[in-house]
A and B are shown apart, each in its own frame.
Chain A
Amino acid sequence: MGGQRLEDRAAYLERVARDVRLNIVRMIYEAQSGHPGGALSAADIVTALYFDIMNVDPSNPHWADRDRFVLSKGHACPVWYTCLAMRGFFPTKELSTLRKFESILQGHPDMKKTPGVDMTTGSLGQGLSCGVGMALEGKMLRKDYRVYVMLGDGEINEGQVWEAAATAAKFKLRNLCAIVDKNNLQMDGYTHEVLPMDPIDGKFAAFNWHVLSIDGHNMQEVLAAFEQAREVRDKPVCIIAETVKGKGVSYMEDVRAWHGKVPDHNQYERAIREIQGV
């Protein structure tokens, strides 16, 4: 993708992200269970990673030199599963088995069951620690791969996130890039009401991270941030992405209840129409 203009890459990714969003809603409706809000807020960023930024080989999911992705906010896994399937890690027809008995697509990510899932997650606040370990391995072996960890802005309530942040800075893990999907909602309400963590950028900066702040739904900004992050020499990078929970489905946007709720039939059809833009 490197030779193409940023505008063209972004336009392509916006089309892919539309299909990603369609699949997220379809999967959750089919499963009658799951977390649409946080999957939709993360959709543009995860799409950019898998369809432009990350160096992966779907035919060899365990390729030692691949870039890694850890979805620390594991409940948003429909977005990850969709991107992996659309990228060719496994057939898209598997998406209809989300959360079902004996599926390769568990309710939260399972690295032993799903091709392309680099780390088991789902218990919040711990994925950044795993990312630190992966990045430390890459640094020790002098490999070029990069590690991307997506965090929710709710799960950074967990103290372990900040243990990991300090550790990443200690080891100068420039191959580690955290993305905070800052949709401003967590399960019980707005993040500033449940447990205020702002300023998040100031906190990561104080932990000696290089911090970038972007609009997480602006594909050009997303791409530019990941490219800038690659250039940082001696620090881990945190991208604070302002997003909207439920992005793309009007009645879900910025509504707390859509953290873990399934649309009924009418809502489902409306969601599909809205995402398709018809």
Chain B
Amino acid sequence: MVMRKAKKATRKAFAERMKEYGAHDPSFVVFEADIGYSTYSYLFGDEYPDRYFNMGIAEANMVGAAAGMAAGGRTVIACGYGVFLSMRALETVRTFICYPNLNVKFLSSHGGVTAAIDGVTHQATEDIGMVTTLPNMSVVAPADENAARAMVEVAVNTPGPVFVRAMRDPLYNIYDADETFETGGSKIVRDGADITIVSYGDILFEALEAAEELRRMGISAEVIDMYSIKPFDKATLLGSLEKTGALLVAENHQKRNGLGYELAAFCLTNKPVPFDHLGLQDTFAESGNYYKVLDKYGLSHNHIVAAAGSVVKKKQAEVAFA
């Protein structure tokens, strides 16, 4: 998988496709919470002013109104920052959207510390835990432009609420325009035999870089883009673990209640393997250069390399004693 430097953030790629898709599918509307020039939802609003509603800096009311509109069968895409959609508005999302299982979709920008420069207030580092806990909610996190574009149709065509976690800044592109995505899907973006590294969003690129370094060290790492966080692709994970027998999950989120916790619980039940998990360790991050923040909080590729090496050693030790 070749990593090409990206020019466009996933938030913008999603919004551009949302505008294009608006012509194919006239049935959905878009709600915004006064950050239309940041989520780029204004692109849709300029094209379809009658289908675009700016609800002001009032996220809880926005998602409540989205529920009211969706109650009659309408699909609403509600845009905002992850911190506010997944936390300030959480209970409204739970009780008025997830409980009646309404077709409200969320373009949630600034996932993880990808909004590093903005500081903790704007870094959604607990969002996955919040929204994956809600029954009926599907959660996806596209890593690149083409994945983000595809998520518009995935979100609109998946019944019930769907949370799309997007990122603030452009990173890399790995997928071609014709790549297909679906809820419950995943992509093996690098084949390997010694360990499975599962990631999503921006950390996928750190994992790919780590895999290249691991190769030089003689460790063959398989890398999976678990872009569908809920539901996740159990079959692909099991198939990969059958081969590698070791798992490392790396994610731009609190370790607690992130994808790593979910996969650890799944593996304990179905396929116990040596395991480790990289994420924020019960701490908030801080402002600063994205790569420096990633490194300081243990999410960069060198941390992945070290953790993967340890997990593989553990596996080999277990094999030796068996």
Chain A interface (Cβ < 8 Å from any Cβ of B): 64, 70, 110-112, 118-123, 126, 128-137, 140, 160, 163-164, 166-167, 170-171
Contact = CB atoms under 8 A, between A and B. Distances in A.
A126 B56 contact: no
Contacts of B72: 64, 134, 137
Interface in B55-105: 55-56, 58, 60-72, 74, 76, 91-92, 95-96, 99-101
Contacts of B156: none
A122 B99 CA distance: 12
Nearest to B60: A160
B53 interface: yes
Nearest to A165: B61
Contact of A129 (B56, B92, B100): B92
A160 B71 contact: no
A166 B68 contact: no
Contact of B61 (A111, A119, A123, A160): A160
A133 B56 contact: no
A134 B64 CA distance: 10
Given A160-B61, A164-B64, A126 B92 contact: yes
Contact of A130 (B53, B55, B64): B64
A160 B64 contact: yes
Contacts of A171: 53
Contacts of B50: 140
A237 to B, nearest CB: 17
A136 B68 CA distance: 9
Contact of B69 (A110, A120, A137, A170): A137
A133 B64 contact: yes
B152 interface: no
B4 to A, nearest CB: 41
A160 B62 CA distance: 10
Given A123-B95, A133-B64, A167 B71 contact: no
A130 B101 contact: no
B247 interface: no
A167 B58 contact: yes
Contact of B71 (A111, A126, A128): A111
Interface residues of B, number: 29
A130 B71 contact: yes
B76 to A, nearest CB: 8
A132 B31 CA distance: 13
Interface string B133-146: 00000000000000
Contacts of A137: 68-69, 72, 74
Contacts of B71: 111, 118-119, 130, 133-134
B66 A133 contact: yes
B84 to A, nearest CB: 13
Given A120-B99, A129-B92, A136 B53 contact: yes
A155 to B, nearest CB: 13
Nearest to B58: A163
13 contacts: A119-B68, A120-B96, A128-B64, A129-B60, A129-B96, A130-B64, A130-B71, A131-B68, A133-B76, A134-B68, A137-B69, A167-B65, A171-B53
Most buried by A among B29, B71, B74: B71
A163 B68 contact: no
Contacts of A134: 68-69, 71-72
B70 A133 contact: yes
A160 B92 contact: yes
A112 B135 CA distance: 15
A129 B67 contact: yes
B88 to A, nearest CB: 10
B53 A163 contact: no
Contacts of B74: 137
Contacts of A135: 68
Nearest to B76: A133
Most buried by B among A118, A121, A123: A123
